[in-house]
Amino acid sequence: MCGDVEEEFAALADPRFYTQALKELKSAFPTAKLKRIAQDSANSIILLSCEDCGYKHGTAYMFSYVYEIFPVFTFVKDIDAEYYTVIENVLDIISVLGAKSFRIEVKKIDYKSKERAKDLEVKMGREIESRGPVADLKNPKLLINVVLTSSGAIIGSQDVPKIGGLDAFRYFNKLDAEHINRSEFKLIEAIEHFGVEIKKGERCIDVGSAPGGWTHFLLSNGAKVLAIDSALMDYDAMPPQSSILIVMQDPSKSKPFLKAENRKIELKSVKEFEEYAKKSNPFNYYDLVHVASNITSTSLLSLDGLGKFGILAIDINRGPEEAAAVAASLCTLLDPGARIIMTIKMPESKPEHYVEEARRALSGLTTEVKFAKLRHNRQELTAFAIFNASRGEPNL
């Protein structure tokens, strides 16, 4: 890229997965010198320097444990004494890159200051704007990252930030659209990280669907959903235009517990549903069919009338083998090439062990399995793979 010019990058990772992040950075940039600049309970920041690193836009998507990486423009050592140097540097970036508009994002990592990152961001943004550049919070031509640490400010720019940018939690909290829970954000992140396209009318299976974050996201994006969970879902929170059917052993017993005051939902017993599915595909009429039972105890999935599905999403709070066994039990319902997204529960130590176990368990069913520690994953990773119909057997 730049011949013998030394380039610098800043990489951010969850400190619980620092060793894994370091390992993958070393493998992606073998010639780089790496140095951890700062760490707090939620973030580690690693500075990389190398000649001709091979960094391209979108590089962050190739990592499983690094959630963001961006080119560094400069490092200002004493932030308090040099506050205006930080401002000058930001002005320099905007002018060197000839950006027509900018947005600045400030993140604090182990930097002691009473001011919140958000307040510092507004203060810096106003100061910069007062010197000429145009601020555009929605569609800026240039995104400036300022990471404040106890050893100094790292200033860089970015034109393809990962969803949420430096502070995904702040970003997600202020999204306009309604969301049901943190789980929904995991799916939003996974869809972006693995580049999954949801087509209009795409048929998806959501196992471990309650209270309904993933289903809500899939329905809101035009999909039809077969949701499976013995727990009831938040039906009221689903998109208003979605037609909903709940299949349960005995609808008369569960009806009083349904949280669906503001919408019409239909209930069928398992027997009624079996009869119905023999005559017509339920998804010709319903957008959401919730089978209110555990995947292990439902016989409905062998029904021919359900047709095939293009996405299988599994979020059941279980380890790799159990999650892979669920995928295996559903493979007759999957389209060849169906996308499988699943969360894998694991203790913090030794994630590699769980990754290997998931890889092994899924290898008989899918093509290569990819993993990511998403911002909204806690004690878990998210796995992604493509169903390979010619295999069809898990390695359990």
Q: Is the Cβ–Cβ distance between 213 and 183 less than 8 Å?
A: yes
Nearest distance from residue 233's CB to ligand SAM, in Å?
A: 8
By CB under 6 A, name the one of 31, 113, 173, 296 that touches ligand SAM: 296
Residues 31-70 that bind ligand SAM (CB under 6 A): none
**Is residue 210 a contact residue for ligand SAM (CB under 6 A)?**
yes
**Is residue 12 a contact residue for ligand SAM (CB under 6 A)?**
no
User: What amino acid is encoded at 238 in this protein?
Assistant: M
Q: What CA–CA distance (Å, rounded) separates 68 from 13?
A: 7
Please report which helix (H) or strand (E) contains residue 146, including its range: strand 142-149
**Is residue 133 a contact residue for ligand SAM (CB under 6 A)?**
no
**Is residue 183 a contact residue for ligand SAM (CB under 6 A)?**
yes
Nearest distance from residue 206's CB to ligand SAM, in Å?
A: 7
Nearest distance from residue 234's CB to ligand SAM, in Å?
A: 8
Nearest distance from residue 298's CB to ligand SAM, in Å?
A: 8
Nearest distance from residue 293's CB to ligand SAM, in Å?
A: 8
Nearest distance from residue 322's CB to ligand SAM, in Å?
A: 8
Instruction: Check residue 128 and report its DSSP letter.
Output: H
Nearest distance from residue 354's CB to ligand SAM, in Å?
A: 17
Which residue, 13 or 358, is less far from ligand SAM as judged by CB? 358
Q: What CA–CA distance (Å, rounded) separates 337 from 16?
A: 34
**Is residue 315 a contact residue for ligand SAM (CB under 6 A)?**
yes
Q: What CA–CA distance (Å, rounded) separates 307 from 203?
A: 9
Which residue, 7 or 206, is less far from ligand SAM as judged by CB? 206
**Is residue 321 a contact residue for ligand SAM (CB under 6 A)?**
no
Q: What CA–CA distance (Å, rounded) separates 355 from 352?
A: 5
Bridge partners of 143?
Answer: 103, 158
Inter-residue long-range contacts of 358-362, CB under 8 Å, 24+ positions, other chains counted? 358/320, 358/323, 358/324, 358/383, 360/395, 361/320, 361/321, 361/323, 361/324, 361/325, 361/394, 361/395, 361/396, 362/324, 362/327, 362/394, 362/395
Which residue, 157 or 377, is less far from ligand SAM as judged by CB? 377
By CB under 6 A, name the one of 125, 152, 164, 213 that touches ligand SAM: 213
Residues 6+ apart with CB under 8 A from 20: 64, 65, 351, 352, 373
Which strands, in side-by-side order, build the sheet including 203-207?
265-269, 244-248, 288-291, 224-228, 203-207, 309-314, 334-345, 380-386, 370-372
Q: Which stretch binds ligand SAM (CB under 6 A): 7-15, 19-27, 144-152, 178-186?
A: 178-186
By CB under 6 A, name the one of 120, 277, 316, 331 that touches ligand SAM: 316
**Is residue 205 a contact residue for ligand SAM (CB under 6 A)?**
no
Which residue, 190 or 210, is less far from ligand SAM as judged by CB? 210
What is the DSSP code string of 242-285?
--EEEEES-HHHHGGG---TTS-EEEEEHHHHHHHHHHS-GGGT
Nearest distance from residue 283's CB to ligand SAM, in Å?
A: 20
Which residue, 366 or 382, is less far from ligand SAM as judged by CB? 382
- Going 299 to 304 to 307 to 308, the CA torsion angle's sign is positive
Residues 219-278 that bind ligand SAM (CB under 6 A): 228-231
Q: Is the Cβ–Cβ distance between 217 and 197 less than 8 Å?
A: no
**Is residue 184 a contact residue for ligand SAM (CB under 6 A)?**
yes
By CB under 6 A, name the one of 294, 329, 367, 395 that touches ligand SAM: 294
| Interacting residues toward ligand SAM by CB under 6 A | 180-181, 183-184, 207-214, 228-231, 294-296, 315-317
